[in-house]
Structure 1
Amino acid sequence: MPLRYPLLFPAGEDGFHPNIPLCGFHQAGPPIARNREQIDNGVQLRELLDGLGPDEEDEEEDDEDEGDEEDEENGDGERRRSNKRGRGGSTRVSRSQYFAYHLHERDDYFSIPHATQRLFLEFVIDGYSQVETDRLNYIRLHQESLRLTTAQGITDAVANGLTPDQIGRSVILGSTFKNSPREITQRYQDAMACVVKYGKPSLFITVTCNPEWPEIKAALGPNDKACNRPDLIARVFEAKLNRLCDDVFGNKQRAGCFGVVLTHTHVIEYQKRGLPHAHILITLAPDDHPLSTEAIDKMISAEIPDPSRYPDLHETVTKHMLHGKCGGNSTQPCMEKDKYGHPRCKRHFPREQNPHTRMHPEGYPLYRRRFRHAVVKGGVIYNDGDCVPYSPYLCTKYNAHINVEAVTTIGAIKYLFKYVYKGPDRAVARVERAANGEGAREDEPVRDEINEFVEGRYISAPEAVHRLFGFSVGRVWPPVNRLPVHLENQQSVQINPNEPLPLDTPPTRSKLTGFFDLCAAAPDGELTTTLLYTNVPRYYSWNKEKLRRKRRAHDRNVIGRIYTVPLRSGERFYLRLLLEVVMGPTSFADLLMFEDVVYPSYRAARGLLADDGEHHICLREAAQIETGDQLRRLFVFMLIHATVANPPALLDRHFASLSDDARYHIKRYEDVPVNDQTIRLWTLNKIRLLLAANDRTLAFFDLPELTEDEVRLFDRLEERLPRFDRQQCAQDAEAAHARLNHDQRIAFDECLCAVELDVVDQMRDNNLGPQHVFFLLAPGGTGKTFVENALLDTVRARGDQAIAVASSGVAALLLKGGHTAHSTFRIPLDTLPTSTCPVDRESDLALMLRTTKLIIWDEAPMAHRFAVEAVDRLLRDLRETEEHFGGVTMIFAGDFRQCLPVVPKGTPGQTVDASLIKADFWRDIRVLRLTENMRLSSNADAMDEAQLARTRDFAEWLLTVGDGTANMHPYDKIALPDYLLFPDGQRTAEGLINFVYPGLRTVNKESLEDLIQLFSRQAILAPHNATVDRINAKLLEEFNGDYIEYRSADEVVEAGETGGGMAPELISPEYLHSINPSNFPAHHLHLEEGIPVVLLRNLDPDAGLCNGTRLIVSHARSRVIQAIILTGDRAGTTVFIPRVRLETNATGSRQLGFTMRRLQFPLRVALAMTINKAQGQSLDRVGVDLSLHPVFTHGQLYVALSRAMSVDRIKVLLPSRDPADDDDDLQAVDRAAAAATATPNPVFRSVLRAMNGE
């Protein structure tokens, strides 16, 4: 170093050499001897630097645990600096200590390096590069000194006469090297283990160093600049970060500034321009979790503060928290091109004005930005649209860029942690060596992890100083204890190739075998016998010398994490799954036993993964409850949705159960004998028909095919097309026709006339073109479904085909013979402008579509216009005409005041563009209107004049809610009438439950009829799944039954490009279990007999099993659920639900970064349900929970308020009165009243104007 930096060593002083004696620490005090006056926030530099040591709480350890394992295996080791003379008792100065010594100024010594500005930066970077190179060279040179093998490997080697240098594998760059890829991956997995235990993070905080901090400026010399003093930047930033973390995290005596913190993660990063910053993720306790917009507003602001009231905060925000104006400059680093090639800011600045905070179901909240204050910087005007979200408290105290985001609604939490643990920056460089050219060596390893780490490594001066000082690079709390997993006698063993192999030595004990020994000995009774492997570190420490577990004196908050095992590891992967769920196993063999059955492999044990054994159990359990048609439907469910590996074997094994009613039915055919052959043909034909209804064939599943003669033996045309009792249809049509009101009769007659007339006749008689496409505009409760069923009955009574579909499964069940539109027309899940419906022209479905006279599509406004346009193209093709929808009479029905198509992460403009009014054929649709609310007036005879008046007023007011013109609150909220709200004393979740389910505690749980009566006609509605899940969990506790827990089997199908390059095997099973993608069942599904559930997939539309169908569980078995449909045309029907494979769609896979597959019952408890799922239903009693999350999109509030049959049977739960609301323009009393009665009501008025032809 003196030769390389002669200016820094002008007297020719010695540089570093390995024989410098370590004499002790310099006790002269802090390194800076200049003026240290008291600074603005009351902290001196000496105090800050004195605070760099570890917290006392972090150093706590049970006395009796001394010498045992370290629980902190999560990257926090650098924070704790030992007071020993050297590592391992060394008496010599290490290279890192040598450079750290030169980084300090001393009162009695002029430090030349600190005065050389940019040369000092090069010196510290060069110094740390040498330190890191020394460590890497040590690892490289000692690759052969220690090798890893297994206990069984040593035994095999001795038996085969091998020497130590012939067995094992080399270790390249392990996780013990700080900031290596393996170490970063381990820290990432530790952080994800905290997510699995405590749930999603609450807040994401980014803290960036401020070089203008007074502590830094006070320590600078007359000509010094902060950019030339990375030692000051690193030390002050570390001290400030420690103080900030203490404020945010709190301790045992007090909560943090945001509340009680359950777990936190933080990582230090360095930008290439030098300034350090920290990413912090915290998870708050449930009571402090920011679930409501009011809670978010208390923590986070995205507005420029009032300079007269908050001058310090205003200065900090305007200096550090405003995003630069980038819209007109495509060269800005934050700019990127959108899919159309237009430049845009990747941070989406400037943001739109927003009068109040709104929750986004899949991203960051849309924070309140009222545009009340502005500031001019550099001649440019900045307003709230340019403000980065921040914490007023933290920004005021620390005067720095501190970005705070609420992440409670982020779907792909993995992305946050991957961003935090993305690793160091790298310079872009590419050097290639010719395959066989000069410099190539035959013995060069294929992959060198050390070279991969070093090549392109970018080190900034503050990072070099930070690491030379030994400061922490990150931390996860609570500490995570990593647990090994291995097969029997396959634990890792270190061997020295220079020593002989041990003979007749028992296998080395590992933490896993120690766990088995602990459970076998059962020293603590029930605690040990019910202990999971992952919970061991909480109660027991691991003595590394004695290789055994020892009971802690006090239980510790430690998380156990089993090392991730890739699926390709085979039995070790399945062993890991068992260790997650099996309590108190005593040996490897014990894990193979379940319910007195010893399984041949870990994969087969306990059904944690799918195989055909699961399907055999499912059919066997179902056969104990039902026979005949239901079993065949169940068999077809499994073929289509559960990925049966060997369908012929499954059929043969359970053929007796699948055909047990065949003899009875065959007897009805006079010309068909009853024997084994005809029984088999009849059963296969029934299965063929069920498969055909789902666009599948017997051959598709390698099942025996039927010849044309065999098909004709049982097949009739009436079995290929939907069959309805013409006489019953005529009776129902006549009864309905007599009950039509004026508006309903006009709509009925006009639609029926279109069915009876030929399109050619219409073209001749109507100069405006054929009127065969209608839209029945019917607000909630006006009898839309009644008119639709009357039309269906009338057409079917004449012997003609009529198809009824709906955009949701719930609405489809209310139509006679109704199915979902997607299942009927085979609409792709992810539609595009050019999407087509894959219907074979020779199929039964094509025959039905060509012969039908009428198609009714209910809840059409919910459908994406691309889906409707695809159906239009399908019918034109099948019916060979260019008329809209092939000339068939098409009736769309619904209300544009209700929910519109769901566009993932879409803007209001994109949602409007996806709606039906933007379809090409909309201009040719004739709109028919229903106006009289029949739902609210159904009990008019039992009402007095006052009740009738209030019912009429409520019906009129509902329309203004849908139109967005109801009594509006000044801040874009709607004021709800008092009769819809709970009194102050009952404004709780308990009050909501008591209103909706008054008989929940007293109902006879042994009577299925009483339970159906209780649950079939009432529900609690909420806009978000998080609220629904919370209510359902509370109601299950109130129900006080014995629930059964069903665990799913999860796997990663593929990791896409959006996965950030992470290998699928690094995605742990625990993380997969914690994910709940949209419309997926939970990993831990809690069900009990008598509980209502909702179906999450279209299983069998003909049987009434559509997405959204409500059922009640009648029997709960291990592999099959028997349930009874609660609502719709098929209410009372008994059905079977098997476990099925669910796979994330394209949108869900993009959000997760990989395609996920889950094997689980496609059910969710439905005591509470989302507002969108309830659209189309009429309920006797409704409670709407908006206490945590208000509605977030068009139509949700209108749908929720229009579900009830009576105005007296609907209540809305709003947030409690809150006099601490921070709205500056209202007095405290007025604020309390506003919080108590008002709620947001988003309405896309452009859709309503287009519907009205404006």
Structure 2
Amino acid sequence: MALQCSCSVEWSNAQGVVLRRFKSLTTKLVLTRNDFRDIFIDVSADKGVVHRLALKDIAVHKRFASDGKATIHFKTDKVMMMISNAPVSQLAEFLKTLFVKVTGRKDSPQVKIRDRLLAVKSGSTEEISPINVKDIGRVDVKLEGPSMKKKKLNDELINQSVKKSYLVNLKDKLTDEQREVVEAVNTNNNIFFTGSAGTGKSFLLRYIVNTLPPDVTMVTASTGASACLIGGVTLHSFAGIGIGECTIERGIEMASKSSAAQVWRKCKILIIDEISMVDGEYFEKLDKIAKAVRKRDEPFGGIKLVLCGDFLQLPPVKQGKSRFCFQTKTWAECRFRCFNLKFVHRQSDNEFVKMLNKLRLGNIDPDTAIKLKATSSNLLEQNGIVPTRLCCRTADAQMINQKKIFDLPGKVFKFEAFDSGPTKTLDDHTPVAKSFVLKSGAQVMLLKNISVSSGLVNGARGVVKDFDKNGSPCVQFKCGNTVTIKPEKWIVKTPTGQFISRQQVPLKLAWAFSIHKSQGLTLDCVEISLGRVFEAGQAYVALSRAKSLSSLRILDFDKKHVWANPDVIAFYNKLDRIVESDKMYILGKKNI
């Protein structure tokens, strides 16, 4: 079991004075075992193994594991090992393996000192194998007993903040096409991967983030909602030039300020989600700023790009005429290796998936039109829960929610967030409002996964039934569960590495949303009016929020409301040819 990271090791005396220190930005830590079954961490740098530390009488501190950091205290030897800049998923696997192997070793017979002295001193070690069923069995047997011991095991194995906020469940299996993308990210190529709604782009991006060194990887998205879903920041926040309305010269001046320049120079990998909503002019401006600040002429100043998004969904938001990123000279210079994900995970209704694939390309055949029109009679109201209306404009959605909550009778309950940082930043990077009001009967949506197995997931619809004695809302969800909703915490990492948080009840009014705000969500029941659609891809995004045709109601379907941008269609036709060509090239190389 090996871990690539930055590492610092300090040896101290009994008084805590540091006697010597080892430090390396590029370190390899390997769990090894000798002939006596003793377990070690081998610390390797450029010159090979430089230190070997015995794993006995240790304490592991992993409070900041979600940031790729941990500390191992070798108490008897008075040594502290500080790990940083480790890929989050690799660090979690490394610490889990360490815990299981060391815990299982405690029950093994101890080798007598005499036997050690008489043995041939080969000094050889071998890398420890991954965790297997026997290892887990040893840990289970050793920790059987009082509930407190079980709790301790749970605390040791899993850092809760990592589990809740950052780590992808390692048991989730990647599809073959997703695995290809992960492997490509580990090459020197710039990467662009795309796919229709529901193909697992956000899941794959979170998985990729957890395999990369956090200190040099900047995770961004074009919108705050998307940034929140992947644990990143907005692209505007990272770039240090606001929304980019300034000239290139002014942008370079702004980005050259100490804090912004430090972020640009530190960055080696830049991830951008929802790239389709980034205007081409802004994309080119970022390229020029990166070159100037980093003083390098390669595209984006030598930063590796990993881009994700679907250009057949929502286009850039800009006054006047805008260009897509793929229409720029910078895009061509980046020479992206491209992937087009095909397998849809979100919808289980195969017929609906086929219909959505046609709609995405702006194709409406008579049979599809008939079936979509027929949804107008779908009865979606259930247990007091009404379907969420998706509106083409944000102002329309806000007006509907405000009128509905005002018209409800009964006492008003106000919920104020507790913020540990600037309100504007937290507004941009968390899905919950600084303050909002509820009444009994309010239609709401859950904004955080609370219990996946019980159906209490981000996007679950419900209705407020009552409030407990502390004023917490009791919500009946469409899945049938009635739950008292308590405040949850969202943690945001700023581009400079600072952590700020917002604690708030994870609900929002759900009589209506804008189509833009719904991007990335899966909704239990949806009602749509397409009469005011004004952008290519807008109708497709709205329709693809539904889980199935039976959970959708279209009030005024007309095929003229569904269309795709011809420039984007041409781009995807070309992209598919490139993807197929790359596959043939790789197959050819393997067969040589």
Return the offset for 1:890.
0.6
Q: 2:428 pairs with 1098, 1103, 1106, which one?
A: 1106
Closer/same/farther in 2, CA of residues 783 and 1196 from structure 1, 3 Å limit: same
Query: What code does the residue aligned with 1:1251 have?
Result: Y
Q: Distance between the aligned counterparts of 2:169 and 2:325, measured in 1?
A: 33
Q: 2:176 pairs with 720, 742, 747, which one?
A: 742
Aligned residue for 1:929, secondary structure, equals: strand
Is 1:806–1:812's contact at 8 Å kept on the other side of the alignment? yes
Aligned residue for 2:296, secondary structure, equals: coil
Q: 1:791 pairs with 195, 198, 208, which one?
A: 208
User: What is residue 963 of structure 1 aligned with on the other side?
Assistant: 361
Deviations 1:915-952 (A, max 9, x none): 11212122222221111001114xxxxxxxxxxxxx22
Deviations 1:362-418 (A, max 9, x none): xxxxxxxxxxxxxxxxxxxxxxxxxxxxxxxxxxxxxxxxxxxxxxxxxxxxxxxxx
User: What is residue 312 of structure 1 aligned with on the other side?
Assistant: none
Q: 1:1209 pairs with 551, 557, 575, which one?
A: 551
Return the offset for 1:1027.
3.4
Closer/same/farther in 2, CA of residues 1041 and 821 from structure 1, 3 Å limit: farther
Query: What code does the residue aligned with 1:1106 have?
Result: D
1:840-919 alignment to 2 at 5 Å? 841=256, 843-904=258-319, 906=320, 910-911=321-322, 914-919=323-328
Return the offset for 1:746.
0.8
1:1183 aligns with 2:514: no
User: What is residue 240 of structure 2 aligned with on the other side?
Assistant: 826
Normalising by the residue count of structure 2, what TM-score does the alignment of the two structures yield? 0.53
Q: Distance between the aligned counterparts of 2:537 and 2:445, measured in 1?
A: 31
Return the offset for 1:1042.
3.8
Aligned residue for 2:251, secondary structure, equals: coil
Closer/same/farther in 2, CA of residues 1034 and 864 from structure 1, 3 Å limit: same
Is 1:827–1:836's contact at 8 Å kept on the other side of the alignment? yes
Structure 1: gaps of 5 or more residues: 1-669, 672-716, 755-770, 938-950, 1002-1017, 1044-1087, 1117-1122, 1137-1162, 1215-1235
Q: Distance between the aligned counterparts of 1:741 and 1:1178, measured in 2?
A: 20
Closer/same/farther in 2, CA of residues 961 and 851 from structure 1, 3 Å limit: same
Return the offset for 1:1111.
4.2
Q: Distance between the aligned counterparts of 2:394 and 2:225, measured in 1?
A: 18
Query: What code does the residue aligned with 1:727 have?
Result: L
Q: 2:91 pairs with 718, 727, 741, which one?
A: 727
Query: What code does the residue aligned with 2:405 have?
Result: L
Is 1:807–1:859's contact at 8 Å kept on the other side of the alignment? yes
Deviations 1:94-143 (A, max 9, x none): xxxxxxxxxxxxxxxxxxxxxxxxxxxxxxxxxxxxxxxxxxxxxxxxxx
Deviations 1:534-586 (A, max 9, x none): xxxxxxxxxxxxxxxxxxxxxxxxxxxxxxxxxxxxxxxxxxxxxxxxxxxxx
1:36-185 alignment to 2 at 5 Å? none
Deviations 1:420-466 (A, max 9, x none): xxxxxxxxxxxxxxxxxxxxxxxxxxxxxxxxxxxxxxxxxxxxxxx
Query: What code does the residue aligned with 2:339 have?
Result: L
Q: Distance between the aligned counterparts of 1:847 and 1:1125, measured in 2?
A: 37
Query: What code does the residue aligned with 1:888 have?
Result: I
Return the offset for 1:981.
1.6
1:691-702 alignment to 2 at 5 Å? none
Closer/same/farther in 2, CA of residues 891 and 1019 from structure 1, 3 Å limit: farther
Aligned residue for 2:178, secondary structure, equals: helix
Q: Which runs of 4+ in 1 moved over 6 A?
A: 721-726, 729-734, 1128-1131
Closer/same/farther in 2, CA of residues 1108 and 1247 from structure 1, 3 Å limit: farther
Return the offset for 1:778.
1.8
Structure 2: gaps of 5 or more residues: 1-15, 18-81, 97-162, 439-443, 451-456, 459-486, 492-506, 576-592
Q: 1:1241 pairs with 554, 559, 562, which one?
A: 562
Aligned residue for 2:205, secondary structure, equals: helix
Normalising by the residue count of structure 1, what TM-score does the alignment of the two structures yield? 0.26
Q: How many residue pairs end up in the alignment?
A: 366
Closer/same/farther in 2, CA of residues 789 and 1164 from structure 1, 3 Å limit: closer
User: What is residue 541 of structure 2 aligned with on the other side?
Assistant: 1199
Closer/same/farther in 2, CA of residues 832 and 748 from structure 1, 3 Å limit: same
Query: What code does the residue aligned with 2:427 have?
Result: L
Closer/same/farther in 2, CA of residues 1190 and 965 from structure 1, 3 Å limit: same
Q: Distance between the aligned counterparts of 2:271 and 2:339, measured in 1?
A: 14
Is 2:279–2:325's contact at 8 Å kept on the other side of the alignment? yes
1:528-927 alignment to 2 at 5 Å? 727-728=91-92, 735-736=169-170, 739-754=173-188, 771=189, 773-796=190-213, 800-816=215-231, 818-829=232-243, 831=245, 834=248, 836=251, 838-839=253-254, 841=256, 843-904=258-319, 906=320, 910-911=321-322, 914-923=323-332, 924-927=335-338
User: What is residue 342 of structure 2 aligned with on the other side?
Assistant: 931
Return the offset for 1:870.
2.0
Q: Distance between the aligned counterparts of 2:449 and 2:212, measured in 1?
A: 20
Closer/same/farther in 2, CA of residues 841 and 1031 from structure 1, 3 Å limit: closer
Return the offset for 1:807.
0.8
Closer/same/farther in 2, CA of residues 868 and 1038 from structure 1, 3 Å limit: same
1:982 aligns with 2:376: yes
Q: Distance between the aligned counterparts of 1:722 and 1:823, measured in 2?
A: 24
User: What is residue 999 of structure 1 aligned with on the other side?
Assistant: 384
Q: Distance between the aligned counterparts of 1:1109 and 1:854, measured in 2?
A: 26
Is 1:826–1:838's contact at 8 Å kept on the other side of the alignment? no
Q: Distance between the aligned counterparts of 2:264 and 2:304, measured in 1?
A: 12
Query: What code does the residue aligned with 1:916 have?
Result: C
Closer/same/farther in 2, CA of residues 734 and 1040 from structure 1, 3 Å limit: closer
Q: Distance between the aligned counterparts of 1:1193 and 1:876, measured in 2?
A: 34
Q: Distance between the aligned counterparts of 1:861 and 1:1126, measured in 2?
A: 24
Q: Distance between the aligned counterparts of 2:351 and 2:205, measured in 1?
A: 27
Closer/same/farther in 2, CA of residues 891 and 734 from structure 1, 3 Å limit: same
Query: What code does the residue aligned with 1:915 have?
Result: F
Deviations 1:40-67 (A, max 9, x none): xxxxxxxxxxxxxxxxxxxxxxxxxxxx
1:1089 aligns with 2:523: no
Q: Distance between the aligned counterparts of 2:280 and 2:247, measured in 1?
A: 9
Q: Distance between the aligned counterparts of 1:885 and 1:979, measured in 2?
A: 47
Is 1:810–1:1177's contact at 8 Å kept on the other side of the alignment? no
Return the offset for 1:1105.
3.1
Is 1:813–1:1109's contact at 8 Å kept on the other side of the alignment? yes
Query: What code does the residue aligned with 2:391 have?
Result: A
Is 1:917–1:1251's contact at 8 Å kept on the other side of the alignment? no
Is 2:519–2:541's contact at 8 Å kept on the other side of the alignment? yes
Return the offset for 1:787.
1.0
Is 1:861–1:901's contact at 8 Å kept on the other side of the alignment? yes
Is 1:1111–1:1124's contact at 8 Å kept on the other side of the alignment? no
Aligned residue for 2:288, secondary structure, equals: helix
Is 1:1111–1:1126's contact at 8 Å kept on the other side of the alignment? no
The structure with higher relative contact order (CA 8 Å, sep 6+) is 2
Q: Distance between the aligned counterparts of 1:1180 and 1:837, measured in 2?
A: 45
Which structure has the bigger radius of gyration? 1
Query: What code does the residue aligned with 2:389 have?
Result: I
Query: What code does the residue aligned with 1:1180 have?
Result: D
Is 2:224–2:430's contact at 8 Å kept on the other side of the alignment? yes
Is 1:807–1:857's contact at 8 Å kept on the other side of the alignment? yes
Return the offset for 1:1021.
1.1
Query: What code does the residue aligned with 1:822 have?
Result: H
